[in-house]
Amino acid sequence: MKTRPALDADAAYRALQARDARLDGHLFVGVTSTGVYCRPICRVRTPRRENCRFFDTPAQAEAAAFRPCLKCRPEIAPGAGLAWSVMDASRTLALQAAQWLNVNAHAFDDAEAPSLAALARHLGVSDRHLRRIFAAEHGVTPSQYVQTRRLLLAKQLLTDTSMPVAQVAHASGFRSLRRFNAAFAENYRLSPSRLRRDGAGTSAGAGDGACATLAFREPYAQGAMLRFLAQRAIPGVEHVDGLCIRRTLRPGAITGQGGWIEAEFVADRAQLRLRSSASLIAATGALLPAVRRWLDLDADPQIIDQALQGLPGDAGLRLPASVDAFELAVRAVLGQQVTVAAARTLARRLALRFGEPVATPWPELDRWFPAPDVVARLEVSQVAELGIIRSRAAAVIGLAQTWPELQALLRAPASPQPLLERLCAVPGIGPWTAHYIAMRALGWADAFPPGDVAVLNALGLGRGARDVREADARSQAWRPWRSYAVLKLWNSLEKSP
């Protein structure tokens, strides 16, 4: 696997001087004369070389007693991303552990040992081994890593929203306002209310929901992402309008509460603006990493594009994931052996018949997708009468009945193989559908749906067993980015407008 090589301090300083956006999220600089750490793209005056210390993560910088810059805002930087396949097994485990902590930091309370024990069990290692490999890879302990994630989330909410400070503390994972204030003051040398008084928190009123800014690395093929989502958007549930993606979010998709979200690409800036309903404020800590995965904001396009040289398509292609894995899985089953447009129609009928109505600011969004427990109780005839063939209707119901088990596999930061095997055990779900679900529900970068007709056509191959083996053999050169290769091949077959 190709990865970005580590920079020595002199090379890192040259990148800082150049304000190299390719290293945004991969490199942070602590300035000893100010006690502040910045992203490499920060527009303040470049500090002297002897005053610079370089770090791979914000957690390392904060462990060294640096506090985040208020101008370049390290909390909105793109993440390092999760490599599903690397040469070093210990490094893979440490990266997967960090990814789990990124998603769950807001819910990670003072009972660190039981939480780490659960994570170690997911990874199949001991607590002690997990702590050792985590510190070796990330330079900090898991608890230090979690503390940084929680504080940076709090800083983002204080900056981007008008949520009350107590609400910010709770949404960031702090179980008491006293602990939050103490941690903020100790690490950032100012109080939460002081940060807000200095000009933050004007984006949205607490009653209107929350706003947040999320950064990504350029290039980003926004047109391809928006087109892909628009073609598959379920009417009433999701809608693409210009640079905006708006959708409802049923209770249980990410959090116990339901609501709506709006994600808008900011013109001429490598940023996404996220707005959510007031009902989702308390779930901001879970929502932000989910949106980052949904729109693949942490991808490193330079490395991916280099690995896929020779394939058609624009630079900066991203992998569309999902914020509702059940909805995505059902949509994948309905899409078996029919066109994208036909699957969209069937999904709309399912949502209209069995989903709950919801109020949003937009008339085109009025439905939550039906929850797994609702679908699990249906009869095959109830689904079939929507125009869905009975075998596929049975597969949708079987998927819903198996969902608690599948959801546990989706949450485990390990190999996608257990999920693939369990999906294939559901009657009516084969390897292609299982790979597609894992590709988008997990954001699995190395999925390669076997026997995909569009991929075979794009490669100039037939549909026989020998052609399928030939496609798989060619795909080995694209690992671990085969999902992106699949998207490029699919897009190459689209007719020009």
CA 403, 405, 411, 415 torsion: positive or negative? negative
For residues 450-477, b (16+ Cβ closer than 10 Å) or e, as one string? ebbeebbebbebeeeeeebeebeeebee
CB of 413 closer than 8 Å to CB of 104? no
**Catalytic (active site) residue 38:** yes
110, 300, 452, 467: the catalytic one is 452
Going across the sheet that includes 36-38, the strands are 52-55, 28-31, 36-38, 67-68
Dist CA 451 CA 438 (whole Å): 16
Closest alpha carbon to 211 in 258, 278, 147, 151: 278
**Catalytic (active site) residue 52:** no
CA 258, 212, 161, 172 torsion: positive or negative? positive
**Size of the chain, expressed as the number of residues it contains:** 497
Dist CA 383 CA 368 (whole Å): 17
CB of 263 closer than 8 Å to CB of 245? yes
Beta bridge partners of 9: none
In the DSSP assignment, the letter for residue 236 is: B
CB of 461 closer than 8 Å to CB of 467? yes
Dist CA 15 CA 17 (whole Å): 5
Compute CA distances 184 → 87, 102, 188, 199, whole Å. Answer: 38, 19, 6, 17
Residues 6+ apart with CB under 8 A from 178: none
Residues 6+ apart with CB under 8 A from 408: none
The letter for the amino acid at 95 is L
8, 20, 38, 305: the catalytic one is 38
Kindly state the tokens that stand for 51. 């005053």
CB of 450 closer than 8 Å to CB of 432? yes
Dist CA 40 CA 31 (whole Å): 12
- DSSP of 259-325: EEEEEEEPTTSSEEEEEE-GGGGGGHHHHHHHHHHHTTTT--HHHHHHHTTTS-S-TT------S-H
CB of 78 closer than 8 Å to CB of 25? yes
Phi, psi of 465 (to 5 degrees): -60, -40
State the catalytic residues. Answer: 38, 452
